[in-house]
Amino acid sequence: MTIPVGPDPHLAFARDDVVPRTPQGCEGCLQLGSPWVHLRLCLTCGHVGCCDSSPNRHARAHAGLVGHPIVRSFEPGEDWRWCFADEAFA
């Protein structure tokens, strides 16, 4: 197994000026009327999706469908980022 050295190359997909498309909650869950556990913000387009602990895992589905690998926690007080492509913190 190779351990990457340096910053995650997928960070090139992340933008600093992303605006949440649905700041009130998970875009997919709001459409379905479904609950979520925690929220993730796509740092490429502003999609707000639910986490892997949520029933629908919309953040992961969005990353796989459109190829936007980097999300940030959309929970108050949290600022970590995750790369779905590498399955690692970014």
The pLDDT score that the predictor gives to residue 4 is 52
Instruction: Look at the pTM and tell me if it is higher than 0.75.
Output: yes
DSSP label at 10? Answer: G
Residue 10 placed within a domain: no
pLDDT of residue 2: 47
Percent of the chain with pLDDT over 90: 87
Residue 83: inside a domain = yes
Q: What is the CATH number of the domain that holds 52?
A: 3.30.40.10
In a domain, 22, yes or no: no
* Residue 45: domain span: 33-90
pLDDT tens string 17-60: 999 999 999 999 999 999 999 999 999 999 999 999 999 999 99
Contacts 24+ apart (CB under 8 A), 59-65: 59/26, 59/84, 60/84, 61/28
Domain membership flag for residue 49? yes
Domain count, the chain: 1
